[in-house]
Amino acid sequence: MTDLLVDFCSHEAALAACKRWHYSGCLPNQKLVKFGVWEEDRFIGAIVYGDGANGGMLRPYGLDYTEGAELVRIALDVHKAAVSQIVAMTFPRLREQSPGLRLIVSYADPERGHHGGIYQAMNWLYLGRTMA
């Protein structure tokens, strides 16, 4: 079993992780909830949630902006723990911080070779492709 810690982190730590380990090299310019990830006492990255780039992403579910979030960044260095385990460890703290949260949305970018395997491993619902 890997020694793994996931906890809130600073904007600077999340930004450094995204610059180093995420293909975008940046953080979105929106309200964010940032989690740092430490494995065997070494900072290995960040998991970041936001309001989402699509203002209408919650509309199909009858939810308002306070009831949903988008998983906007998974920025990790080489690690032993499964990404699905790392992301799942953020959920209790995210619920604590956002008690009205009912839905998390995320997108996989096939242009970057992403196929949603992380979300499949967590048994998330696949709802199809967007037009963007």
Contact 102, 94 (CB under 8 A): no
**For the chain, what percentages of helix, strand and coil (3-state, to nearest 5) are there?**
30, 25, 45
| Amino acid (one-letter) located at 52 | G
The verdict on pTM exceeding 0.75 is yes
Q: Whole-angstrom Cα distance, residue 66 to residue 99?
A: 9
Kindly report, residue by residue over 23-51, the tens digit of the pLDDT: 999 999 988 999 999 999 999 999 999 98
Q: Is 73 helix (H, G, I), strand (E, B) or coil?
A: strand
Sign of CA dihedral 104, 27, 47, 106: positive
Banded model confidence at residue 128, pLDDT cuts 50, 70, 90:
low
- Our measurement of the distance from residue 91's CA atom to the centroid of its chain's CA atoms, rounded to an integer in Å, reads 10
